[in-house]
C-alpha cells in the first residue's frame, strides 16, 4: 500500500485571471487567456508537458508547423512570467506522422536557444519500463525534459535530490585523503537519466486482476506524468513559497508536486474534465487521501519467483525444440 499525503491548509483559488494571495491558483480556460493576466517575473519554475499534436481527445491535430507556431506564443508568454533566476522545463516525447518519428525536443531546442537565448542545463532522459509495443520500429521507452535557465545565476540545489550512493563504502586510495570515505555522505547526483515509472505499476503488476483498482495515481487523463518526476525538479529548482507554473496542467501532477513541498502553484487546462480532476486531487491532498509513490523509492526488481516473470508452460516445450522463433 502506498503512503497517504496530507496538507490541510492549502488556499485553493479558482480564477480565470491572476489574483493573489493563493497557494494554488487553477483556471479552466485557454492557457494564453490566463497567462496574459500573470505579472512579469513571478515564477521560479515553469514546467509542463505540452500537447504533442497526436490527435488525443483534448487536441485537434494541426499541421506540424502550425502546431509549433502556437506553442511558440505560449512559451514566449511563459518566458515573460519567469524570474531572471528561474528555470524552464519542457517535457516532451515524439510527434509521429505516418510512421515517421519527429523528436519534439529537437524542434523546441532551436526556439528556446536561438529565439529566447536561453541556456540548456540538461537534457534529462526520463526512462520508463512499460508502454505500447511497436511492431515496425523499436518500442519507445523514454521521453526527455529540456531544462533551460534564463540567466547564469539560476536556482539549483542538489542536496534535496541526491540519491543513495551505490558504493558508499568506497575510500580514497591515494593523496591527502587516502583511507577516508570518498563518497558524499548526503548521497550522489541523480544524473540526467531518470528511471521513474509511468504509473505505480511496479507495486501492482504482481496482482494483475487488481491493476486498475490498485492504481493510486492514475486518473482518466490519457497522458499524465508521475508526480515524482516533477518533485525532483521542484526541490532542486525552487525555494519554499516560490511559484511553479504549468501552462498545460492536465490532471494537476505539477501542482501537487509543488504543494507537497510548500511551494505555490498556478495551473490551467481548457478541458473541464481535467480541470475537475485537478481540483479533486488537490482536495484529496487537503483532506489526507492522496496516495502516491514515495520520492526516490527504487523501482521494483522482479526476483524471478513471481508467476508473471516465469515462462508460460506452453512455451517451454517449443523453446526446447527450438521452434519458437
Ligand X SMILES: C[S@@+](CC[C@H](N)C(=O)[O-])C[C@H]1O[C@@H](n2cnc3c(N)ncnc32)[C@H](O)[C@@H]1O
Which grid cell is 313?
508452460
Question: Which contiguous run of DSSP H or E holds residue 237?
Answer: helix 227-237
Cα separation, 59 vs 81, whole angstroms: 25
Instruction: Report the nearest approach of ligand X to the CB of residue 29 (Å).
Output: 7
Smaller CB separation from ligand X, 2 or 183: 2
Instruction: Report the nearest approach of ligand X to the CB of residue 306 (Å).
Output: 29
Instruction: Report the nearest approach of ligand X to the CB of residue 251 (Å).
Output: 4
Instruction: Report the nearest approach of ligand X to the CB of residue 221 (Å).
Output: 5
Cα separation, 318 vs 323, whole angstroms: 5
Total length of the chain: 325
Smaller CB separation from ligand X, 109 or 274: 274
17 CB-near residues (< 8 Å, 6+ apart):
27, 34, 37
Instruction: Report the nearest approach of ligand X to the CB of residue 74 (Å).
Output: 8
Question: What is residue 35's three-state secondary structure?
Answer: helix
Smaller CB separation from ligand X, 85 or 292: 292
Smaller CB separation from ligand X, 51 or 86: 51
Question: Which contiguous run of DSSP H or E holds residue 280?
Answer: helix 272-287
Smaller CB separation from ligand X, 73 or 177: 73
Smaller CB separation from ligand X, 49 or 236: 49
Identify any residues that bridge with 11 across adjacent strands, giving them in sequence order.
none
Q: Which of 266, 151, 281, 285 is nearest to 220 (CA)?
A: 281
Which grid cell is 312?
508460460
Q: Do residues 131 and 140 make contact, with C-beta atoms less than 8 angstroms apart?
A: yes
Instruction: Report the nearest approach of ligand X to the CB of residue 176 (Å).
Output: 48
Q: Which residue has the cell 492536465?
A: 250
Chain residue whose CB lies nearest ligand X: 250
Q: What are phi and psi of 291, to 5 degrees?
A: -110, 140
Q: Which of 91, 62, 88 is nearest to 76 (CA)?
A: 88
Smaller CB separation from ligand X, 242 or 250: 250
Q: Which of 231, 184, 218, 209 is nearest to 291 (CA)?
A: 218
Instruction: Report the nearest approach of ligand X to the CB of residue 122 (Å).
Output: 19
195 CB-near residues (< 8 Å, 6+ apart):
127, 128, 129, 299
Residue 3, CA atoms < 13 Å, CB-side half-sphere: 6
Rounded to an integer, what is the distance from CA 91 to the centroid of its chain? Answer: 7
Smaller CB separation from ligand X, 147 or 274: 274
Instruction: Report the nearest approach of ligand X to the CB of residue 323 (Å).
Output: 44
Instruction: Report the nearest approach of ligand X to the CB of residue 217 (Å).
Output: 9
Cα separation, 204 vs 1, whole angstroms: 9
> Which residues form the interface with ligand X (CB under 6 A)?
30-31, 49, 51, 58-59, 221, 223-225, 248, 250-251, 253, 268-271, 274
Smaller CB separation from ligand X, 148 or 225: 225
Amino acid at each position: 500500500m502506498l503512503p497517504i499525503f496530507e496538507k490541510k491548509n492549502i488556499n485553493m483559488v479558482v480564477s480565470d485571471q491572476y489574483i493573489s494571495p493563493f497557494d494554488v491558483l487553477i483556471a479552466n480556460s485557454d492557457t494564453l487567456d490566463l497567462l496574459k493576466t500573470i505579472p512579469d517575473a513571478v515564477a521560479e519554475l515553469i514546467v509542463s508537458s505540452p500537447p504533442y499534436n497526436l490527435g488525443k481527445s483534448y487536441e485537434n491535430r494541426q499541421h506540424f508547423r502550425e502546431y509549433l507556431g502556437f506553442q511558440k506564443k505560449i512559451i514566449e508568454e511563459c518566458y515573460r512570467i519567469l524570474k531572471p533566476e528561474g528555470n524552464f522545463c519542457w517535457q516532451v516525447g515524439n510527434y509521429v506522422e505516418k510512421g515517421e518519428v519527429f523528436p519534439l525536443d529537437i524542434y523546441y531546442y532551436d526556439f528556446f536557444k536561438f529565439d529566447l537565448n536561453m541556456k540548456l542545463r540538461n537534457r534529462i532522459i526520463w526512462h520508463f519500463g512499460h508502454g505500447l509495443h511497436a511492431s515496425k520500429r523499436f518500442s519507445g521507452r523514454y521521453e526527455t525534459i529540456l531544462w533551460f535557465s534564463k540567466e547564469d545565476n539560476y536556482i539549483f540545489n542538489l542536496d534535496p535530490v541526491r540519491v543513495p550512493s551505490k558504493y558508499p563504502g568506497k575510500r580514497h586510495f591515494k593523496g591527502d585523503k587516502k583511507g577516508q570515505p570518498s563518497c558524499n555522505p548526503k548521497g550522489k547526483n541523480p544524473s540526467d537519466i531518470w528511471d521513474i515509472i509511468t504509473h505505480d505499476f511496479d507495486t501492482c503488476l504482481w496482482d494483475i486482476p487488481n491493476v486498475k483498482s490498485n492504481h493510486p495515481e492514475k486518473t482518466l487523463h490519457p497522458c499524465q506524468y508521475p508526480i515524482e518526476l516533477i518533485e525532483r525538479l521542484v526541490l532542486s529548482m525552487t525555494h519554499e513559497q516560490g511559484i511553479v507554473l504549468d501552462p498545460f496542467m492536465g490532471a494537476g501532477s505539477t501542482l501537487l508536486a509543488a504543494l507537497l513541498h510548500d511551494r505555490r502553484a498556478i495551473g490551467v487546462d481548457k478541458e473541464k474534465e481535467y480541470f475537475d480532476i485537478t481540483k479533486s486531487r488537490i482536495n484529496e491532498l487537503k483532506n489526507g487521501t492522496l496516495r502516491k509513490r514515495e520520492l526516490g523509492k527504487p523501482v521494483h526488481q522482479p526476483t524471478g519467483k513471481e508467476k508473471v516473470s516465469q515462462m508460460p508452460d506452453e512455451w517451454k516445450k517449443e523453446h526446447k525444440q527450438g521452434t519458437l522463433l
